[in-house]
Amino acid sequence: MEAFADFKSQGKIRQGGVSNFTPAMMEESRDTFKIVTNQVGYHLFDFRPEAEIMPFCRENNMGIMAYGSLAHGLLTGAMSPETKFEDDDWRRSLMAFGQPLFKGETFL
C-alpha cells in the first residue's frame, strides 16, 4: 500500500484498487492509502463476498468489481457433462454451494 501512496504523491496515479482483499486487509491499509475498489470473484455459484466484503465496502464507500461473473466459463453454455479438464486446470477445484462442481473430470 505504501507503493500506491508513493505513486499517488508523485502524480503517477489518482486512485487505486485491490483484488481479493478481506475486510481486515482493507482496514489495515486505511491509514496508508484510500482503496477505491476491491475486485472479487462473484457469480451464481459463489456468493461469499456478500457475507463480509460487500458490506464493508458499502460502509466505507468503496466500489466492488466482480470477476468470473460467468463462473469462469461454466455458465456460458460452452461446457457440458462431457467437458473434461486437464489435471492442471484450476477450474477442476471450483465449488457450487459448498459442493464440488466436478465428479472426477466431468462437470456436474
Same domain, 63 and 11: yes
**Could you tell me the pLDDT band of residue 26, with boundaries at 50, 70 and 90?**
very high
pTM of the entire structure?
0.77
pLDDT value for 89: 84
**78 vs 6, residue with greater confidence:** 6
pLDDT value for 71: 83
Domain that holds residue 93: 78-108
pLDDT value for 78: 82
Residue 25 host element (H or E): helix 23-29
Same domain, 17 and 61: yes
Same domain, 11 and 51: yes
Same domain, 17 and 34: yes
| Counted domains in the chain | 2
**Could you tell me the pLDDT band of residue 86, with boundaries at 50, 70 and 90?**
confident
Same domain, 92 and 59: no
